[in-house]
Chain A
């Protein structure tokens, strides 16, 4: 298991390096001048040149990339030349908001989607199964931003049950959780349907397998068979998908952060791209890509833990 994790970890680092290098090149190729955007018309050409120099833009792209990685090796992502703040601090203070949002969304979606999918498989073709199928497809089909806007209109504006904006007071966990409800629902609702359909399909397949028949023949209870044998195997593809889902939710979090005026990495990255604030763009890109790679790695490891066959196959 340890060797498997090490091997997958090294592969993840390589993927991270390639992805970040590619994004670095792409971002710098987009035309635009951060000094002009940020400093406005008052800035003299000399001042603009000074700010470009501070960002290292006066050097060839390869050198800029080399300096970025050299800084990264020292744990230094540079300084935002406009606010003169450390990029690590800027990214670090936004990261928890996005992490909380993504984990709440994926966690909520799993808590609802897995039991729904499981129940649909057990009560196959029942009214509840059909109802779940219709609702799942509906959840998947409705774009998240539409869900967000209607949640905002009804639950925040019309009935005022939930806050319409912000992330809650710092240090007040219940307030932060309260502010998380609507954005997490908006971001995670589509995943409820997706997970439910996936778990249902996997469960149906697993329930037909020989070892389940054998378990029944040995007289094990349905509850034991489902929870201890069938669901464990049926969850394998779901875990993989959840790993990828966390990564894709990072990009999806942007709309929730804008609609609900929440802080977060998505909004930070979006604003930085618009103003071509390259140090912040690269810091945010590194963190989001790293998070994506880490979540897929975690999914692989959990899969290997749940299914020893995978561990053995990959270990051999």
Chain B
């Protein structure tokens, strides 16, 4: 038997190495390294959205994330000015005027065309768009935005009149200029079966929906039929990025032109700003407060609730949780809106001595032990921890119970069982709209067991809530909303914290545009070298 010559472990010869390397280089050169779609290439805007779309139909749209996109592809009769206020200007309408308390007349600009061959926008499309919102058969989620809208009368191809059952002060900012007032084509929507979600059958705005990729991005493309000022970008890529940290990294990596960032990142970014970038800290429409359930036995005595109000140092809360970027609020109505109060009845820093005095008057045995429910969110947890520290100083021991958002949103609901009775303190937040009624409507008696977890019930408040919505005299509304917020504070059920902020970072190569609540207005963003 002959022994085979042992083979060595595979070895690479110099020639083999050169061959392999050459082949690899040829492969790379031929195939090319794929290019990354870096931002700021002039024709394409890359921007973050805080969540993915669910529906672009005004009947079923759920959040501002959808409003950001639908406002770029659709038109309203009126729209908000891109100057950070809630002021409106004409959009699809050539004219819009209030005739009396329950009638509003409009006239469309002629020649506005729906995409996909659905023809010119007419007054009948306006009628269709608004009446489907109040049609009981549609079961529209956003039905409340329309208030007491009865119907729309069409006079001719371009003009018509809105008819309301009763006066509705929020009609223009909420119903007409808001996402619920977007004008759709009757013919297109009817052909699509009467409703749609992420595949609008047509649109009439400066951009068209080119594609939507679930959990990835929405691509908008310039509408070639748009009759107004030419859209600034060939395409806008809107990325669904729920995590702000990921968005911040993507911005630093140069892949985004604009992004809503977290409050804790503002200071580090300002110290070491990414290239050619700026930050604007905008007011937010989100209002935060500490609520107290007055029907819980531990908080039934108003003196205890008042003591809690006085014990909490809101300035310290805002400084710690919002890094000093936000202002202490005096109520749910944000700055710049009718009804906003400049100061609350209780001083921002509180008054621990007065709190102790109130607890003594109520003959409370200290330490008083209470539970505070909160959404499991880093910002809110920081805020309640500072409150816990404030309350401990006056002899109130607070146990923080953090719950995920879905569980938290049920704690005060009567239809979820008797758990609402056990609710004591909770940190809550709501996002407002363009009218003050929306900031206060959650605290009426009708909302008991729904969103009014404080169980606050006051006849004067309920009456003013209705009256303020029915008058359009600004001074009157201002006075009523001031009084309503006074009543809330006097009840001891609320300690207002802040109306929060929305920090936005953007490249200096663009001229950003934001709404009064900090959200981007895509159709108004333009390259920085554009003359306004």
Q: Hey, which bits of chain A sit against chain B, CB under 8 A? A: 30-34, 36-45, 47, 50, 82-85, 90, 93-94, 122, 152-153, 156-157, 160, 162-170, 172, 174-175, 177-178, 219-224, 258-261, 263-264, 267-268, 271, 274-276
Contacts and interface: CB of A to CB of B under 8 A. Distances in A.
Given A82-B55, A261-B241, A275-B406, A122 B442 contact: no
Interface in B55-72: 55, 60, 62-63
A165 B252 CA distance: 11
B contact patch SS: loop
Nearest to A36: B409
B37 A165 contact: no
B255 A164 contact: yes
Contact of A39 (B36, B141, B145, B246): B141
Contacts, number: 152
Contacts of A259: 243, 246
Given A34-B406, A37-B405, A83-B198, A157 B7 contact: no
Interface size class of B (residues with CB under 8 A): 35 or more
B297 interface: no
A41 B6 contact: no
A165 B406 contact: no
Interface string B212-255: 01111100000000000000000000010111001101101111
Contacts of B195: 84
B504 to A, nearest CB: 18
Given A40-B62, A174-B31, A268 B215 contact: yes
> Which 3 A-B pairs rank lowest in CB-CB distance, beginning with the nearest?
A32-B406, A221-B7, A164-B253
A258 B241 CA distance: 8
Interface stretch (B262-270, B280-288, B346-354, B410-418): B410-418
Given A39-B62, A41-B430, A47-B141, A164 B249 contact: yes
A64 to B, nearest CB: 18
B409 A37 contact: yes
Nearest to A46: B139
Contacts of B254: 160
B23 to A, nearest CB: 18
Nearest to B63: A40
B442 A41 contact: yes
Contacts of B33: 178
Given A37-B409, A160-B253, A260 B430 contact: no
B21 interface: no
A33 B60 CA distance: 18
Nearest to B211: A170
Interface in B24-57: 31-38, 54-55
Contacts of A33: 406, 409-410, 413, 416
A220 B7 CA distance: 9
Contacts of A153: 249
Given A45-B415, A258-B243, 16 more contacts: A37-B405, A37-B409, A41-B451, A42-B141, A82-B54, A82-B62, A85-B197, A94-B215, A122-B9, A157-B252, A160-B254, A164-B252, A164-B253, A165-B246, A259-B243, A261-B243
A156 B38 CA distance: 11
Nearest to A149: B249
A160 to B, nearest CB: 6
Contacts of B407: 30-32
Nearest to A177: B34
Contacts of A267: 215
